[in-house]
Amino acid sequence: MTQQSRRLYLNEVATRDGFQNEAVFIDTDDKIALIDQLSACGYAKIEVTSFTSPRAIPALRDAEAVMHGIARAPGVVYTVLVPNVRGAERALSCKVDEVNLVMSVSESHNRANLRMSREESFGQLRDVIGAVRGSGVAINVSLSTAMGCPMEGDVPVETVLGWIDRFAGLGVNGVTLCDTTGMAHPAQVHDLCARASAAFAPLEITLHFHNTRGMALANTLAALDAGIVRFDASLGGLGGCPYAPGATGNVCTEELVHMLELDGYDTGVNLAAVLDAAARLPALIGHDVPSQILKAGRRLDLHPMPACA
């Protein structure tokens, strides 16, 4: 493999992407305590919450209270999901560092997930960008289904590059390519990342993988090989997939950090601190999490007993 930059930048999404999928409401104080713990872990960015309608996502109805309650660590970018201008105004009033906008690059998924066409989404997000621009708050756009749509199947690379181009034209700071339902495979990831990086540098390109079909870490290797240095990850692997009960969701932060650190990358993230935070999750959300490292321990956590065959 070619030699890549060894400094990587991780964005923790569990308290937004993970918690919004949980059936229980996690107490505001517990959210704040967890985010404060995450702030000490060394992440480049934390996606704190979502300024969506409290009716649409009641799990995150306390977005303002959480944003006001957390202690901001220097050097950490605190980002929030914002669906529309109303959400952007709420986010700006909380002095977020970044807003993260989202739409799907496949029509069917955008309609299923956001209840509007892609063009309607783009128009709405263009208005958000207009409202945020000039405030000093950074703007990132997460493009869902960038490596496949669960309803349409393959999404042409040209389609993905086309949507990046439209948002780049609006002056956003970064784009996240999301493998929303774990359809990406390594050769595809390498091709998409190489082409997006070549076409849109110095736009910050982040990769967001799901482990739905077991390939999240393999896809990460492929993205690294194509020069990507920014990755989303979710503590404990929180954030499931509604059509595949029992399947894992987002790539697990501690599994990602564990592999990257062993391979000699500098993620900035303290693995022991992240594992401490992940260990709190089952009590918070009321069920087990898909993290393998939480169960098996780190590579060099040794075991005195007779071992596997």
Measured from the CB atom, the residue of 171 and 304 that comes closer to a copy of itself is 304
Q: For a copy of itself, which is the closer residue by CB, 268 or 282? A: 282
The residues facing 9 across adjacent strands are: 230
Q: DSSP readout, 220-243?
A: HHHHHHTT--EEEEBGGG----TT
The region of 28-36, 85-93, 165-173, 236-244 touching a copy of itself under the rule CB under 8 A is 236-244
Q: How far apart are CA 130 and CA 119, in angstroms?
A: 16
CB of 186 to a copy of itself, least distance (A): 6
Q: What's at 270, amino acid-wise?
A: N
Contact between 217 and a copy of itself per CB under 8 A: yes
At closest approach, how far in Å is the CB of 253 from a copy of itself?
11
Interface with a copy of itself (CB under 8 A), residue from 127, 154, 266, 276: 154
Asked if 154 contacts 115 with a C-beta cutoff of 8 angstroms, the reply is no
Query: 270-309: which residues touch a copy of itself (CB under 8 A)?
Result: 288, 292-293, 295-300, 302-309
Q: Are 181 and 212 in contact (CB under 8 A)?
A: yes
181 contributes a contact to a copy of itself by CB under 8 A: yes
* Least Cβ distance, residue 241 to a copy of itself (angstroms): 5
Rounded to an integer, what distance in angstroms lies between the CA atom of residue 233 and that of residue 10? 7
- Contact flags string 29-48 toward a copy of itself, x per CB under 8 A: --------------------
- State yes or no: residue 247 binds a copy of itself (CB under 8 A): yes
Q: Does 126 bind a copy of itself (CB under 8 A)?
A: no
252 is catalytic: no
Q: Is 40 helix (H, G, I), strand (E, B) or coil?
A: coil
For the record, the structure tokens of 153 come out as 């199947």
**How crowded is the C-beta side of 239, counted as CA atoms within 13 Å?**
26
Interface residue with a copy of itself, options 193, 240, 269, 274 (CB under 8 A): 240
Q: How far is the CB of 255 from a copy of itself (least distance, A)?
A: 4
**Residue 104: both structure tokens together:** 């799907």
Annotated catalytic residue within 41, 149, 241, 252 = 241
Binding of a copy of itself at residue 190 (CB under 8 A)?
Answer: yes
Q: What is the CA radius of gyration of the chain?
A: 18
186 lies in the site for a copy of itself, by CB under 8 A: yes
Shorter beta-carbon distance to a copy of itself: residue 67 or 257? 257
Kindly list the distances between the CA atom of residue 167 and the CA atoms of 97, 107, 158, 164, 256, in Å, as whole numbers in the listed order: 19, 17, 14, 5, 28
Report the nearest approach of a copy of itself to the CB of residue 74 (Å). Answer: 30
Supply φ then ψ for residue 63, to 5 degrees: -55, -50
List, by residue number, the catalytic residues.
241
